[in-house]
Amino acid sequence: MHNSIKPKVTLVGAGPGDPELLTLKGVRALAEANVVLYDALANDEILRHAPKNAIRIIVGKKIGNHAYTQDQINQLIVDNALTYGNVVRLKGGDPFIFGRGSEEIEYAESFGIETVIVPGISSVVAVPASQGISITKRGVSESFWAITGTTSDRKLSADFALAAQSSATVVIVMGMHKLSQIVELFQKENKGNLPVAIIQNGTTAEEKIGVGSVNSIVEIVKQQDLSSPAVIVLGEVVKESHKLKGFYEEFLSKEIAQ
């Protein structure tokens, strides 16, 4: 029986949270899965695309609640592929954007296991878009930075200082715990009035949003009780959003009143 098992690992990006923002290719990969290893960030509804008898294993890493180390996850992927054949590794967003997907693929390939990559819609782009924020816009922003607030050594990436000097839109994932440090870097560059939006649980029914400026956003996070997982967007494009116009006019009138 075991001779007929063909180990294969398919890395699937689950998208930003809304289960309908999974790709058709991702749906097809899940339908053929013998085992699904998924993160806490992957929506439960997405798992329904896997066969009823497929083994489902949550390996999710949440801050402060590491179920498995990365090395253990790598090993689980390989063990399950060798034992059961078709493994789908489901990760939130796009697995190659701050998802450590490349490490998992490299490990599987070191065992000669066939690997396939199914990109996902990244929250870097999709979450701002869901609030009408176009992260590039002609005449407003010619480029964007995507930065993670959580580096492997728990320090703030040196890229933040450069991003704060740039005129580009800055999109930060996994950065809520570093918000005050990020704000300080932008204030150093005299960008206290730069518009900021923070979108928690973007594209899902639980979505919450706070809008302000670099100078006021820490206070707004407290007022609105915003927390992780959230995407932070800094840039003039935030003000351009048709969806946030109401928020912004209200916010600016308060700032002027002060």
Q: Could you give the CA distance from residue 168 to residue 116 in angstroms, rounded to a whole number?
A: 33
Is residue 191 annotated as a catalytic residue, yes or no?
A: no
Q: How many CB atoms lie within 10 A of CB 20?
A: 9
Tell me which of 8, 18, 94, 174 is the catalytic residue.
Answer: 174
- Catalytic member of 61, 137, 159, 208: 61
| Paired strand residues for 173 | 148, 231
Distances (CA, A) of 151 to 50, 172, 227, 255: 32, 12, 18, 34
Integer angstrom CA distances of residue 212 from 11, 24, 112, 186, 215: 37, 37, 51, 14, 8
Q: Does the annotation mark 71 as catalytic?
A: no
Q: Is 225 a catalytic residue?
A: no
Residue 221 contacts residue 175 (beta carbons within 8 Å): no
Asked whether 92 and 39 are in contact (CB, 8 A), the reply is: yes
| In 19-165, beta strands by DSSP E | 35-38, 55-58, 61-62, 65-66, 86-91, 114-118, 144-148
Q: H or E element: which one contains 246?
A: helix 245-257
161: how many CB neighbours lie within 10 A of its CB?
13
Tokens of 95: 């697995």
Residues with catalytic annotation?
A: 39, 61, 174
